[in-house]
Structure formats: C-alpha cells, structure tokens
Amino acid sequence: MTGDDETLLLLGAYCDGELSPGEVLAMERRLAADPDLRRAAERLRGLSTAVRGTLAGTPAPEALRARVIQRIGFVEPAPARNWRDSWQALAATLVVGLGLGALVGGGFVSLSRPDEGPPLSETVLAGHLRALAAPQPFDIASADGHVVKPWFNGRTPLAPDAPDLADEGFPLIGGRIDIVAGKAVPTLVYRRDRHVISVFVVPATTPGTAPGEERRDGSTIERWADGDLAYLAVSDLNTRALRSFVELYRARTARKG
C-alpha cells in the first residue's frame, strides 16, 4: 500500500476536490513524483465510479410518492374552503395533480373535508403514526403493567390494565398519552417483531367505537368494547396477527377483571 494514513486521507480529499489550493499543489507534486501514489489515486477514482453506479442502481419504489402523499394528506386534513386562499397553494395542488395523475391528485383533494371533526379511526391512526415518527413510540418505557397502569393515574381519566404479552410474542413496551376527541386518553404500546401496536383506550360513549375492523393506509384498526371502555388497536401488522393480539389482550384483561 502506498504511503501512510494521512497521505491516503489527503489523496481521498484530493480526488473529491476538497483540498485547499495549496494542498492541491502539494499533492500534485507528490503525484508527479510517485507512481505508486498515482496508482492509488486511480484506484480511488475507479472505486468512486463503481460505488456511484452501485449506489444509484438500487431501484426506488414507484409507489413511495403516492403513499407519502396519501399519508401527508390525511395527517392534517385541510378545511375545504381555505384551499383557494392562496394562489401558491392552488398552483401546488395543480402541480401535484398534473404530476401525479388523477388517482393521487384526486385522493389529495378528496381529503379536504368540510367542518366536522375527523373520524375516530383517523385520529387514532394519526396518533399511532405520529408516535412512530417520534424517537420512541411511548412516553414511559416499561414492560411492567404495574408500572404502566399507575403511570396513567392523574394523567388521563382512565388507567387501563396493561398485561405484558411477551410470552405470546407481544411484549409490552410502554404507554403514552394521546388526544382523542379533545381528551387525553391512555395508549398502551406493544411490539411484535418490528411492528408497533398502539392500543387506545377511550370511554365507550365516544362516537365511532362500534366494534369492527378497518384498513387504512396500510394499517389495521381493530375496535372492541369491554364494559364502559372501548379499545382501538392500531398497527401495520398483518390483520391476522393483529386479531390474535386482540384476542390475547381481551382474554388477559378479562381474566383480571
């Protein structure tokens, strides 16, 4: 190998065009005098070309853009009447519409909804995604239900049971607080492999809690009720796995109650 460490670092910076003029001069002098160093420089340049080709060769998924727009569109639904206010926004909407085709553009616009608040499933899905986007999806990290449950006391009007289901492959990883229909509600956070499951617990009187299942933007929402509480489990886990999680959770909380 040619030269010491420092020389190689300088050579790399030289090939990247990152040396100061004085350093460039010095390096060029050395290159002229040292055939080994010249070969090293050629190797580096060859490597750069090859690396560039390899890095750029990874295909980027075509659907990514559509999915991102869909998600952004629904995170903050725009009031329908404001969208004409700004020429810039109008132009941007047109650009999006033209550039992405009727399907995506249409979806974008149709997400602008009139006055009524967003449906419950939209709120919980947004809460779930927001949590995923944060450095961690919980406010308190604990696998112990006896820690998580009391933590909610005084923070939310409800403090749900938080059974650890690690033995069944759904470890409890913590809890957090979400705002649903203007109220602070407890959310339990579980994990299955790489998937995070958020379990929102709200009073059964909250509109939109009728038991059922819903798919939204790649996530599944399972709703069920138990006494005066309603539960919503949200995850990008496959539906079957999420269902079995719900069954387990229900069985475990029922036994305790």
- Which residues of the shown chain bind other proteins in the complex (CB under 8 A)? 5, 8-9, 12-13, 16, 18, 43-44, 47-48, 50-58, 60-61, 64-65, 67-69, 71-73, 75-78, 82-83, 85-86, 88-89, 91-93, 95-96, 129-130, 132-133, 135-136, 194
Nearest to 190 by CA among 123, 121, 244, 119: 244
| Cβ closest to other proteins, residue 134 vs residue 204 | 134
| Cβ closest to other proteins, residue 75 vs residue 177 | 75
Query: Which residue in this structure is represented by tokens 């990883």?
Result: 173
| Cβ closest to other proteins, residue 41 vs residue 201 | 41
Residue 107 C-beta: closest distance to other proteins, Å: 13
| Cβ closest to other proteins, residue 136 vs residue 238 | 136
Residue 185 C-beta: closest distance to other proteins, Å: 21
How many Å apart are CA 210 and CA 229, to the nearest integer?
Answer: 11
Residue 217 C-beta: closest distance to other proteins, Å: 10
The amino acid at 140 = I
Residue 242 C-beta: closest distance to other proteins, Å: 17
| Cβ closest to other proteins, residue 153 vs residue 238 | 238
Rg (CA), the chain: 27
Residue 56 C-beta: closest distance to other proteins, Å: 6
| Cβ closest to other proteins, residue 8 vs residue 248 | 8
DSSP designation for 256: H
Helix ranges (DSSP H) in 16-119: 21-33, 35-56, 64-75, 87-110
How many Å apart are CA 219 and CA 237, to the nearest integer?
Answer: 7
CB 180 within 8 Å of CB 156: no
Residue 237 C-beta: closest distance to other proteins, Å: 13
How many Å apart are CA 33 and CA 31, to the nearest integer?
Answer: 5
CB 12 within 8 Å of CB 48: no
First to last CA, the chain: 71
